[in-house]
C-alpha cells in the first residue's frame, strides 16, 4: 500500500492518497502563518488501517518543514499530538 500526503490549498486541506485513491483529509483554516485544523475524515474503506495516523503525521511533518504552526481544534489532530509529543512544539496559541 503506497501513501502520499499532499497539501491541497485550493480546498484548504491536506489529503492522503492510498494507491492513488483519496482516502482521507484534514481540513484547515489559514490564519497568517498558523493553520487551524478543524476536521479530519477518513473514508470508511480505509478506517482501522493506520491511514488517519499517516495523514496527520505527514501533515505535521510538512507544517514543520515549512516553518509553520498550527492550532488543533480537530479532536483527532489534538489526540495525535497528545500521543506524539515530538509534535507539541508546532502548536500555537489560538489566533
Residues 15-36 have pLDDT tens digits of: 999 999 999 999 999 998 899 9
pLDDT range class, residue 95, cuts 50, 70, 90: low
The pTM of the full predicted model, rounded to 2 decimals, is 0.94
Residue 95 lies in a domain: no
Give the pLDDT confidence of 37-64 residue by residue, as tens digits: 999 999 999 999 999 999 999 999 999 9
Residue 47 lies in a domain: yes
Residue 65 lies in a domain: yes
Long-range contacts of 63-69 (CB under 8 A, 24+ apart): 63/35, 63/90, 64/90, 67/33, 68/33, 68/34, 68/35, 69/33, 69/34, 69/35
Helix, strand or coil for residue 67? coil
Total domains in the chain come to 1
Residue ranges making up the domain that contains 63: 3-90
Alpha helices in 6-74 (DSSP H): 51-65
Joined together, the cell numbers standing for residue 20 give: 492513488
The CATH number that applies at residue 74 is 3.40.630.30
- Determine contact, residues 78/72, Cβ cutoff 8 Å: yes
Amino acid at each position: 500500500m503506497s501513501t502520499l500526503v499532499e497539501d491541497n490549498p485550493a480546498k484548504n486541506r491536506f489529503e492522503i492518497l492510498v494507491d492513488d485513491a483519496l482516502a482521507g483529509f484534514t481540513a484547515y483554516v489559514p490564519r497568517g502563518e498558523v493553520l487551524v485544523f478543524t476536521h479530519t475524515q477518513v473514508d470508511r474503506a480505509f478506517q482501522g488501517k493506520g491511514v488517519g495516523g499517516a495523514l496527520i503525521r505527514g501533515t505535521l511533518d510538512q507544517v514543520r518543514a515549512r516553518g509553520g504552526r498550527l492550532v488543533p481544534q480537530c479532536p483527532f489532530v489534538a489526540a495525535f499530538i497528545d500521543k506524539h509529543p515530538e509534535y507539541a512544539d508546532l502548536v500555537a496559541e489560538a489566533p
